[in-house]
Structure 1
Amino acid sequence: MECYVIQTTDESRARLIADLQERAEELAQLNRIAIALTSEFDLQLLLQMITDAARKVTAAEYAAFFLIPEIAEKNTDRPADKIIFNLAAISGATPAIEKHFRHLGSVEGIGVLRPVFWEGESIVVDDVHQDPRYVGVPRGHIPVRSFLGVQLRTREETILGAFLIGDTHPGRFTARHVELTEALGAQAAVAIHNAQLIARERRAMEEHAARLESEVRERTAELERRNQELSKVATDLQKLHHDLTEAQKRQMLGDERRRIAQELHDRVQQTLFTMGLKADWVLERLPPDSPLVRPLRNIKKLASLGTAQVRDAIFALSSSAMQEGGLVSMLYTLIHDLRESTSIEADLVVAEWTVSLPSHIENVLFTVAQEALSNVRRHAQATTVIVTVQITSEQAVLVVQDNGIGLSPLVLQTYRDNATHLGLTGMHRRLEDLEGQFLLTNGEEGGLIVKAVVPL
């Protein structure tokens, strides 16, 4: 009898020592897990580490961590509801099973999960098939028999989710496994809270950095825009200074030309005109056979020639916009030739000239003037013709107006379709090519007005 008691005592002591060793190992394992959890701040990796730890401390085949499910559809006629489960991490599952859980969709019935998610109760089920709350599992689900469910809460009692731990064999979990999982859950809640804080701070820092970067980009763009504006202003000022300098030069040159032209008109031309008058007065009083008649007539011719030459000089000096080989110079040559070869009194008026013309526009306007003056010479029966030029920053305008017989209304309406008016048709076509206008009309007091307008 005494031997049996000693043997029983020894066995109890051995079991106690084994149990203490097992608990010490469990505590050491929890301590190692706690240390590992404190070193991980990526939330998804942390959830996976916690789930792996839950499976390890319970020696289970499977473990999963689910966030609080959503009720997708509330049934009023039946006790079962449709639930959407949100998987956060899973351990021990094949890729196919993990894919099944991540695409689970809505599931009908809460079953044994109600106490875990909605009542905050940790439960152990030795065999779910024997539990009256069991409502089955979706197709493709793990064939779990033993089940352990533990809810995870923060220190503020906010529900984070739940550990759902399972095994294909019945009777695998004990109250000790519940204690270990709850202890792990307490450590995990702190680690998750810290990870969330760090993630929140990281997001705040990233958002702040993004705002700073955006502000830097905006300020940089603004500075670049301001620099471009300042550069443009500087360029514009330089151009304006150059333009003002050139304008001052042109103004001074124009003033000097006009002064000389006025002097020629007031003195030289008047003197030559007076010489011609005096020669006429003397000729009228001399007998026809006087030896002075011939010299006086020569003097009169020279006075007339001098007057014409002075008039040409006055015109050239008065045209401040005229440039060597430019449109005004070419028009002046046309008018001078017309005056010299006919009795027509021709003049050129430069009403305005603010910008330089491209050469192709000058050529078209010169061709129009040339054709118009040729028509005046041959057909207009005119005694006077005036060519007017006006150049602005928006358009170039050339007008040729005579006091001749003009054109019939029929010709004005049909010249573009009449093969006998090639000159008028050519002028019209050239201006159309420049997207300009060609206007042909009779003057109110007679004569013809030819007007060419070219946009700049």
Structure 2
Amino acid sequence: MSGEGKELERLRRKVKELSSLVEVSTLIASRLDIEPLLQDIVEAATRLIGAELGGLLVLSQDGSRLYDYFKVCGWPFEPAGFPSGRGIYSLPYKTGQPLRVDRVRDHPQSVGFPPGHPFVEAFLGVPLKFKDKILGTLFLGNGPGGRTFTAEDEELLMAFATQASIAIENARLYAKARELARLQERNRIAQELHDTVAQLLFAIGIEADWCLERLPQDSHFYGKLQAIKRLAARATNEVRNAIFALSNAHKEGDLRKALREIVDEFEAMSTIKVGLVLPETIPPLTPRLEEAIRRVVRESLSNVHKHSRAQLVMISLTLDDTRIGVSIQDDGVGLSEESLTRFLKGDGLHFGITSMRRMVEELGGTLTIANNDDGGLMVKAFLPLPQEEVV
């Protein structure tokens, strides 16, 4: 082929690559849900370059763990967990630079592959970067036809990664906006419950009292009115519990203030006294860690109010070098042995308890529930503190 023919062929290939880049960029730009978006990105990148394998790692936003997401394409199985953060997969996001390797096993930072990992000879990885913020790594294994990756492949993948990073950041902003709207709706519902249903139930109780004062106790209707009054009081408590849970779902940023507000609102809606013991200083915590602590306290207080017949609750927050702990102890009737056994077996004692235990365990923590020797119930949660830096 003449020099002119080669140049024409190169231009045709370039036009085809750019057309493909525009096509896949348009596809991912239309996605707003983060999970399907990330899968689309890794599949589109693998097709764009013609690689055998593809993968994508997104760094955690809150520091509670190394990665938030790990997506793959062309692998014979779904990965059982996240990579360790060592080896060449992590280099593009650590250095902020692309990495092209012809023989992975010869690279000085190659640490090998876990059992069952697909064979990777050639590697191409680029950072996912939005402005000055590193979001993660997009990487490919084994070029088209088993060849190594070229400088043109790297350039094309870098261009695609720029578009992908914008799409990821947009999806995150969309998720935050949706969460804010959800919390605002919860607040609105809580306010409406307070202004309408709670007031109506209170009025029913007042009317029942008025009638009871004027009826003889041997009247056929006296017992009926007492039952109505009890049901109204019970419904009022349930509505207050709902308002309490809804209005406390969004407090973030200052754990000390949030816990005091939860306690104040609990005492305002019940006759149970609460003691709150906090350390002098609380280090900055990740949003997920703060939410887990608030959820444990909130759900425990809700259960105390519903079931314990307690007069006093003590909440304590403790800290050491590696973990934070929270305990909620009441002086009520405790739990039956059957209920405790069901909890310890993970049979779902109560949806709220199951939910808070799952959240604690997802963060690497533990949750225990046990009866006190002198009566009442003790709920304890211990969670690891976030590492100071991601390596």
TM-score of the aligned structures, taking structure 2 as reference length? 0.50
Which of the two has higher C-alpha Rg?
Answer: 1
Give the TM-score taking structure 1 as reference length: 0.43
Higher fraction of helix: 1
Higher-RCO chain (CA-CA 8 Å, sequence separation at least 6): 2
